A and B are shown apart, each in its own frame.
Chain A
Amino acid sequence: MTPEPPNILRLRTDELEWKQIDDEIVVLDGRASNYLSAGGAGVILWHMLESGATADELSAALVDKYSIDEASARADVDSFLAELTEQGLLAT
């Protein structure tokens, strides 16, 4: 039996524009005509999701960057992903 492929999460590419200004990302969701911004850990996660990453990889990046425990990192990642999902910003 082959192992199940990891669930790669990725930002959608259609009508989604963003620009980084110092430590902040400004995002335009063209479908919803809505602006969002992300700072701090959100910037790291955003860039990883641009090229595609699993939730485990996202958590590990936060552990590495902020020296926090895995559970806290996972909670931050889940919260961020839930927000992106609610806004429809992740590729399906």
Chain B
Amino acid sequence: MLRDCGEVWARVEELIDAAPSTEALRAHGVHLLAAAVWRSRGRTVPDEVRADERRAAAMAMAAPLLLRRARAAYPGPLLLMKGPEAAARYPDPGTRYFRDLDLLAGDAPAAQRALTAAGFVEVGSPAEYADRQHLCPLAWPGLPLVVELHRVPNRPAWLAPPPAEEILRLAVPSATGVDGLLAPAPAAHALLLAAHGWAHKPLGRLVDLIDLAAVLGPGDRALAAELARAWGWEGIWRVALGAADALIGARDRSRSLSIWARHLEGVRDRSVLEDHLARVAAPACTVSLRRLPSALGANLSRTVGRRGHERWADKLRRSRLAVAHAFMDRSEHERTLP
């Protein structure tokens, strides 16, 4: 549908024009795309966005360097997901901001050992990542990006993990051009991007849908649907693709876009209340009725619960602020948190 299609990027430009503020563009992860649009029209790019461009350039330049070093250190299959792999499908990869490099390894612990032996250093405590989808992040001294080696790709907690072996089996050469580095097949990658977006902000950010649209080629839809069925991800895929089609592909407006992703059309930030409701209700249109009660319960528990080792006093303070800021933009609210 959308890849290699100038109309898509024309539509993205229209959405950027609809954004109420630079803050909203940043909240949706499209402020660098906006800067490119403004510059092409001879408009001055605001200083704060130029600072973001410098940071993004630093990250983008470090990425191939780190990927080459990771590739050289570990002989097994290494597959790049999201960030720079999605960025490589943009007209200008420098307009897609990313902060880490997500790699799926054939044997993640072995890859972690190989990379640390080659000079990467662990950032944080490995014990904290024992139950996470990726191992302790790795940095190269002096460079700003971290590498995260995944046991399995990221996904919402209520979805079954995708079969890593199948993703590796379908892998293709990475679009970044790093020799020997793999990437998921576009159909599988689009699914992984959809799931990643739902894990963090369900239908929350425009950039997640643009990534999906940029990666999914016209001939990839059938395989994506087949994989979604095989992985038990039909619900999430139907909703994410429907939203991307409606928003960027100029197809009929999807129900999810009308009900709880209205903020995407106006490229405005969700309010705190909308954000909480979206996160709690996220499983509603993506899992079967039988599994819905447990998925909703688990999601509610995560939303109202403490974060990690957070003290109850801090949790209550955060909750009081969330109530007081119910109608405030989410990003503005987050800036008030300690």
B64-90 vs A, Cβ < 8 Å mask (1 yes, 0 no): 110000000000000000000000000
- Residue from A15, A17, A26 in contact with B54 in the complex, judged by beta carbons closer than 8 Å: A26
Which residue of chain B has the shortest Cβ distance to A31 in the bound complex?
B65
**A28-B65, A33-B140, A33-B142 known; A21+B53 contact, CB < 8 A:** yes
Main secondary structure of the interface of B (DSSP, over half): helix
Residue of A nearest to B58 (CB): A35
Residue B164, interface by CB 8 Å: no
User: Which residues of B are found within 8 Å of A22, using beta-carbon distances?
Assistant: 39, 45, 50
Q: For chain A residues 6-36, which have a beta carbon within 8 Å of chain B?
A: 15, 17-19, 21-22, 24, 26, 28, 30, 32-35
- Tell me, in angstroms, the Cα distance from A28 to B54 when the chains sit together: 11
Q: How far is the CB of B171 from chain A (nearest CB, A)?
A: 26
Q: A interface, how many residues as a size bin?
A: 10 to 19
- Which of A21, A34, A37 has the most chain B CB within a 10 Å cutoff? A21
CB distance from A36 to the nearest CB of B (A): 11
Q: Which chain B residues border A30 with CB–CB below 8 Å?
A: 62, 65
Shortest CB-to-CB span from B155 to chain A, Å, is 33
In angstroms, how far is the closest chain B Cβ from the Cβ of A77?
25
Compute how far the CA of A17 lies from the CA of B68 in the bound complex, rounded to whole angstroms.
14
Residue of A nearest to B65 (CB): A30
Q: A22-B45, A33-B143, A34-B142 are in contact. Are A28 and B53 (CB under 8 A)?
A: no
Q: How near does chain A come to B231, taking the closest CB pair, in angstroms?
A: 37
Interface size on B, residues (CB 8 A): 17
The 8 Å CB contact of A21, one of B50, B141, B142, B143, is B50
* Closest chain A residue to B144, Cβ basis: A35
Alpha-carbon separation in the docked complex, A33 to B139 (Å): 11
Q: Contact: A26 with B141, CB < 8 Å?
A: no
- Please state if B61 and A18 are interface contacts (CB–CB under 8 Å): yes
Query: Which A residue's beta carbon lies closest to that of B63?
Result: A17
Contacts of B65 in A (CB 8 A): 15, 17, 28, 30
CA distance A35 to B59 in the complex (A): 11
Chain A residues whose CB sits within 8 angstroms of the CB of B281 once the complex forms = none
Instruction: Write the nearest CB–CB distance from A92 to chain B, whole angstroms.
Output: 21
Q: Which residue of A lies closest to B62 (CB)?
A: A28
Q: Specify the chain A residue showing the minimal Cβ separation from B53.
A: A21
Residues of B within 8 A of A32 (CB): 142
How far, in whole Å, are A25 and B94 apart by their CA atoms in the complex? 14
CB of B141 within 8 A of CB of A33, answer yes
**Chain A CB within 8 A of B224 CB:** no
Most central of A24, A30, A32, A34 by chain B CB within 10 Å: A30
In the A-B complex, the 3 residue pairs with the smallest Cβ-Cβ separation, listed nearest first, are: A33-B142, A17-B61, A28-B61
List 15 A-B residue pairs with CB atoms under 8 Å apart, sorted by A's residue number: A15-B65, A17-B64, A19-B61, A19-B94, A21-B50, A21-B57, A22-B39, A22-B45, A24-B54, A26-B57, A28-B61, A28-B62, A33-B140, A33-B142, A34-B142
Residues of B in contact with A (beta carbons under 8 Å apart): 39, 45, 50, 53-54, 57-58, 60-62, 64-65, 94, 140-143
